[in-house]
Chains A and B, each alone.
Chain A
Amino acid sequence: MTEPTPAGSAVGGDAVESDVVRDDAAGRVLPDDGPAWVRVRAATWGALAGLAMLLVGAWAGRADVAVIGAPVVVWAVWCWTARPSGDVVVEVETDASTTPGELRTAVRVSAPAGTTAVALGLRRSNRTQARALVRVRDGRREVPFVVHTVRTGPQTVAEVDSLGLGPGLASVSEPGEPAAGEALVLPGVRPLGALPLPPRLRGLTGGHDSRRPGEGGGLRDVHPYTPGDRLRRIDWRVTARRSPRLRELYVRREHALAEAVVVLVVDSRDEVGPDPRTWGGWSRPRGVDPTSLDLARTAAASLAQAFLDQGDRVGLDDLGALRRPLPPGGGRRQLDRIRNALALTRPEGDPVRRTRAPQLPSGALVVVFSTFLDDQAAHAAAQWRAAGHRVVAVDVLPTLREHLLDARERLALQLVTIARADRLAALADADVELVSWRDHPEVALAGLARRAQRRAGAGAR
C-alpha cells in the first residue's frame, strides 16, 4: 500500500486558502508581527456547509436542520478568531563532536502564542525519515530525537521542516525555515590483537625489544664483566657455575627497548557505499551502510589506538589532499588529533593526481587504506615498498550488494572488479602485504605480526 499524500501534508501543504491579501497596490497592510495564518480548507468548506444548513433550516422553518449546522459555524469562527500570527522557528541542537551509533539530539520549537501543535518533518540523506505532530504549550516545545547512523565525519544530523497549527487545527502557518544540525562524528575503534612492526625500530624507549644492547628488553647474552658494567647486572648463579673461585664475574646483558614509527595513509579521493548504484553520485548511500571512507576512518583509528597503546609513534597522511601530514607522535593526545583529522578527511573537489608518493620517515611502517578502485594508491604503495618501507595495504571496499543490479550494471561491476583484482595481485607481487577490513582484520594483522617475529624488530622479509 502506498502512502497517500494528502493535499495538506506536514510541510508545504496547499489545501489552505489565504485570507491575507498580499497585494500592496490594493492598499492592504500586512500585519507587523508576521504573516497571518491561513484557514484549513476542510474546516472552511465544512463551516460553509454548516452555514448553508443554518440558512436553509431557517428559511424552511426546520429547526432540526438549522441546529445541525450551527455548531460547526460557531466552532470555525471561534477557531479563526483565535488563530495566531507570526513565524514558527525551529532549531536543531547537536553536540559539536560525537561517536557513531546512536546520536541523541533535539529540536527546539518556538511558536507564536495560540499555537496548539506543530507538524515536524525530519529529513536525512535527502529523504524524509519521520513526520510528527507534536503539541506546543506556551509557544515552546523541545522534541528529542534519535539518529541511527554508522556514518562518520562531518555530516548533517537532520534537517527539520515545520508547520504551525492553530486552535482546532483549523488554521495553519506558512512553512517555517528548515533548520539543520551539523555534527562531527568521530570514528570509533575496534580492538585489535598483535600488529606487524616496521623493519627498523627507533630510540631507546618504547614497547618493543631492539636488536641493540641496552636496558629494559629481553636477555641478550651473558658476558664477562668489563669496566663500565653495573654491579647489579652481575649474574651470581652463572658466575658461581663458570668461575667457582670468582676469578671472573659474569653479567647479564639485555636488549634495548625501542619504538616503531607507523604512518597511516588514507586515500580519501573516493567514498563508495555497498550499493554500486550509488557510485555514480546520483543518490547517496543509506545512513545504515558504512561507506569505504567510514571503514577507512574506523580502521585507521583502530590501528592508531593499538599502536599508540604499545608506545609507538603514529602519523597520518592523506593521499587525497595536498597539505601537511600529521607528523608521527605518541600519547593520548596524538590519538585525539588523529581521530579528529580522520573525521575531517573527505573527498574534496577533483581527485588529486600525484606524480610521486609522499615522503615518509625512513624505516616507518606504512599502512595504506584504500578501495584500490584506481591505480593511484597502488602505485604509491609500490613506490614506498621499493623505497624499503614495510607496506600493509588495507582494503576498505565494503561488501557489495549486487542482488538489485540489472544486467548492464552487473557487467560494469564485473569489469571494475576484475581490474581491481589485477591491481591487488600486482601489489602482492610488489611485496605489499594485503589485509581486507571486511572480514576479521585482526586475524590477518596477527598473521602478519607472527611472520615478523623471527627476531626482535625484524619486520621486513
Chain B
Amino acid sequence: MGRTTRLRLGGFAVLGLLLVLWEVASRAALVNQVYVPPVSRIGGELWRLLLNGELARHLGASAVRFGLGYGLAVAVGLGIGLVMGYFRAGYLLLEPLIELLRPLPPPAIIPIAILFLGIENPMKIFVIAFACFFPIVVNTIQGIAGVDRVLLDTARTFGLTTREIIWKIVLPSASPNIVAGMRIALAIALILTVISELVASNDGIGFMILDMERAFRIPEMYAGIFTLMVVGYLLNRLFVVFESRTLAWYFGQSRRAQE
C-alpha cells in the first residue's frame, strides 16, 4: 500500500473518529443531547425518511429547481458570453449592465423575484439561474478572449463561416474556461436552491431542514443537512467525471507542458 493510499484511508479514519466522538459526547451528555443528538439516531431518522419516501419527495423537488435553474444559466450564460466574447459590439453594449448586476449578492433579488414571479418554482428557478449566470458568462468571455489568433487565421484560410468558426474553433478552444465557470456555478446553484427554499416553500431539502428545526425534530434536521453534504459531494464527483471526459485533451496538454 502506497503512502498516498494510506493517507487517504487515514482521512476517512479522521472523519470516522469525529463521528464516534460525536456519538460518545452526545450519549454521555457532554453536550446538550437535544441540540446534538447521537449520530446513530440521526442515521436512524435518515433511514426512516429514506424508507417512507419523504426524503425522496423533498430531494426531487429540489432537483427540479436546481436542474432547471442551472441548465437555464448554462444556456443563457454561454449564449451571452459568446455574443460578448466574440463580437466587440456585443461586449461594449452589454458590459455595463453585466458589471452592475454582478456585484449584487444574488439573495438580494429574491424580494423582486417574489414580486414578479410569486413564491413557487418560477421564482426559485429564476433566482438560481440569475446567480449561476455570472460565473459562466465571465468565464466564457475570458475563454474566448484567449482563443489564439493563429487558430482563427487557420480557420479563415480554410474559408470557414463565422458560424463554423464559433462551433469548431471558438467554443472548443474556450471550453476549459467555460467548464471552470460551470463548476463554480454548480456550487452556487446548490446554495441558491437551499436559500430559495428557506425563504418560501413547502417542499425541497432546504424547506425540510427549516421545517424540522421549527418542529423541533432535531435529528431529522441533521438528517437533512447530512443529505445535503452527500448530494453536494456526489454532484462534485459527477462534475469531475464530466470535466475529465470533455477536457481530456486539455489536461493531457497541461501535463505535457509541465514535464
User: Does B bind A?
Assistant: no
Q: Which residues of A contact B (CB under 8 A)?
A: none
